[in-house]
Chain A
């Protein structure tokens, strides 16, 4: 059998897993691994400028492709810098394997240079973690790490590697396991057919139904069957922030996003429904508003691969634990075989009511005549310029909500944002990951002048690898979402939510070797967008000045029900 060092085994295991690309940053504890990387060409290593960006880039790569993202960082600060990115992936259930260096085994616990207890720090934010104790364990450990990260409810897995375990002086036989079997871990392979039958019966007798689909449908590759189910039954569909693209955004049965900044009709439909079919969603507090006032008349069907998500915040009447794709497929075939259909008259009346809600609000906003641009207009211009066909990554704040509301995603894996953790600084590095996955695709990073500055150093990475990302900086010269809450709940006292001394983003982009375009007037917006996207091999940083006073609406009124919303600064339901 072939003999390899620990470092060589790690790299070979990546090859054997079919990993083509990893994101990282070298340092003392991982130098053996970097040396092993140098001596092969199957795994490409992308050098970022900050370890947080390495995790977000791997995360973006994973969200766009469905493959696990892989990160390599050194011990101590390299590892702790990666923590925010690991937590981001954990909250959104993104499959990721993080290799972190560690000081020599015999120095652990001695407060050695660049030592930190990474396994301890990460315990609450990883699906699992491993620590290498002898090089012989590396192949099986890596196999398990990828298996755990990608199966069941996916998530990040940490492999912590003391430097001596990768020494080129110690070579041990290498064989990569073909299969992995763990008595303590076996994700559910199928949903219970009896429960699925019960759910189908509920769907067939529903009169005011709604399908509420989340990020689990995208992660579980269930969009195709979700769409079939909705079409077969003529049910309205709403997606969570994480689920956008799971159902085609421009389809007439689509109600838009639901929740805190969901559409009026999506929230009204939820509140008034008699049946909620929740698929791969977790009744997050940003969706339900006050859980006890949530949808009083609805029977709840809840499909999720994670049993711990079911009946966590809202009690499920028909719980189904299983992979969303298989469960949806079985639902579709049961309904196709059944002679029964939901009451068409009742559904027609339901759709009439929905139409009324749509007409009542439908994401309207006021345009400033001759005044500053509205951020919504920027997203609409982006949608127009890209014909709805871009990968859109986003940072966190108002611009994220505007992008979620106004960019219609017709396919899964196109909308890439930090939903659970809400990590500012996610947008640009995740766009790097997406652009590596799809070098010819249009990749837009919708951001704001606050968020972009949290990882702006990655413009340098983009130059190094020639990534033609389009940065859409919706610049309102304020931390918009914070400011909105301060307007609404703190008497307009804008405590620390403004940004004095913004850089000249155009010159900043240029100094990094990119193209910068500033837009101040709505008349110039479309042309500037066209120009940006016509520069196919250049990163273009669009610095677009918008009205700082704009708010995101609708907005749930805190502690109310789904239907309690502000619809503008002066109107409420």
Chain B
């Protein structure tokens, strides 16, 4: 099962490599990974998605918690949450396709952020499924390049992950 684990950790050199190392060393796979400092510059927020059953996820979270630099963590998929991923995508836009691409972008509520005579650069945010669906709709033949940030997430309601 796909899980989103969100980690608050010390913003120190080496901290990221310890988190990533823990996964590779135990043979777990990281599907996506995104990390940046928080409003408190001494802390970083790291969000990763991984696949595993309950037992594997329990082991992963226990071992992540053991890392000295990890302050707190939460498995967002345990409760209601919001997840978003940002995608930048270059799409071939010539002839009749130009209007069709524009319509599709509108339907997905994306934005065209750069234009040339033959290419649209599209920015799209949403769940990973939505981004997949967009790429699927446009079709491989039209898509020139895709860049995705990986999932970022936060829990719904009043629950916060902070110190």
Give every chain A residue within 8 A of B13 (Cβ-Cβ).
131
Given the complex of chains A and B, what is the CA–CA distance between A148 and B71 in angstroms? 15
Question: CB-nearest residue of chain A relative to B17?
Answer: A123
**A308, CB-defined interface residue at 8 Å:** yes
A225 to chain B, nearest CB (A): 26
Question: CB-nearest residue of chain B relative to A309?
Answer: B62
**B104, CB-defined interface residue at 8 Å:** no
**A307, CB-defined interface residue at 8 Å:** yes
A427 to chain B, nearest CB (A): 29
If A131-B14, A184-B10, A308-B62 touch, does A123 touch B21 (CB 8 Å cutoff)? yes
Q: Which residues of A318-335 are within 8 A (CB) of B?
A: none
Give every chain B residue within 8 A of A127 (Cβ-Cβ).
68
**B18, CB-defined interface residue at 8 Å:** yes
**B70, CB-defined interface residue at 8 Å:** yes
Given the complex of chains A and B, what is the CA–CA distance between A183 and B9 in angstroms? 10
- Contact in complex: A184, B18 (CB < 8 Å): no
- Contact in complex: A307, B65 (CB < 8 Å): yes
Question: CB-nearest residue of chain A relative to B9?
Answer: A184
A38 to chain B, nearest CB (A): 32
B36 to chain A, nearest CB (A): 18
* Per-position binary interface string of chain B over residues 57-82, scored 1 when its CB falls under 8 Å from any chain A CB and 0 otherwise: 01100110110111100000000000
* Per-position binary interface string of chain A over residues 167-196, scored 1 when its CB falls under 8 Å from any chain B CB and 0 otherwise: 000000000000000111100000000000
**B163, CB-defined interface residue at 8 Å:** yes
Given the complex of chains A and B, what is the CA–CA distance between A127 and B68 in angstroms? 8
Q: Which one of A119, A148, A307, A312 lies within 8 Å of B14 (CB-CB)?
A: A119
- Contact in complex: A182, B163 (CB < 8 Å): no
A to B contact number (C-beta, < 8 Å): 33
**B25, CB-defined interface residue at 8 Å:** yes
**A128, CB-defined interface residue at 8 Å:** yes
A90 to chain B, nearest CB (A): 12
* Per-position binary interface string of chain B over residues 1-26, scored 1 when its CB falls under 8 Å from any chain A CB and 0 otherwise: 00000000110011001100100010
A91 to chain B, nearest CB (A): 14
Given the complex of chains A and B, what is the CA–CA distance between A311 and B55 in angstroms? 9
Give every chain A residue within 8 A of B63 (Cβ-Cβ).
308
Given the complex of chains A and B, what is the CA–CA distance between A145 and B134 in angstroms? 50
**A371, CB-defined interface residue at 8 Å:** no
Given the complex of chains A and B, what is the CA–CA distance between A36 and B120 in angstroms? 65
Q: Which residues of A123-163 are within 8 A (CB) of B?
A: 123-124, 127-129, 131, 148
Give every chain B residue within 8 A of A312 (Cβ-Cβ).
59
A321 to chain B, nearest CB (A): 10
- Contact in complex: A183, B68 (CB < 8 Å): no
B18 to chain A, nearest CB (A): 6
Given the complex of chains A and B, what is the CA–CA distance between A131 and B18 in angstroms? 14
Given the complex of chains A and B, what is the CA–CA distance between A186 and B16 in angstroms? 20
A155 to chain B, nearest CB (A): 10
If A183-B71, A184-B71, A185-B68 touch, does A123 touch B18 (CB 8 Å cutoff)? yes
If A123-B17, A124-B21, A311-B58 touch, does A184 touch B69 (CB 8 Å cutoff)? yes
**A306, CB-defined interface residue at 8 Å:** yes
- Contact in complex: A308, B59 (CB < 8 Å): yes
- Contact in complex: B17, A182 (CB < 8 Å): no
Q: Which one of A120, A128, A308 lies within 8 Å of B68 (CB-CB)?
A: A128
Give every chain B residue within 8 A of A307 (Cβ-Cβ).
62, 65
Give every chain A residue within 8 A of B71 (Cβ-Cβ).
183-184
Which interface residue of B63, B65, B66, B71 has the most chain A CB atoms within 10 A?
A: B66
Question: CB-nearest residue of chain B relative to A153?
Answer: B66
- Contact in complex: A184, B25 (CB < 8 Å): no
Q: Which residues of A470-518 are within 8 A (CB) of B?
A: none
Which interface residue of A129, A183, A311 has the most chain B CB atoms within 10 A?
A: A183
B residues in contact (CB < 8 Å) with A? 9-10, 13-14, 17-18, 21, 25, 58-59, 62-63, 65-66, 68-71, 163
27 A-B contact pairs sorted by A residue (CB < 8 Å) = A119-B14, A120-B17, A123-B17, A123-B18, A123-B21, A124-B21, A124-B25, A129-B14, A131-B13, A131-B14, A148-B68, A182-B68, A183-B71, A184-B9, A184-B10, A184-B68, A184-B69, A184-B70, A184-B71, A185-B68, A306-B66, A307-B62, A308-B63, A308-B65, A308-B66, A311-B58, A312-B59
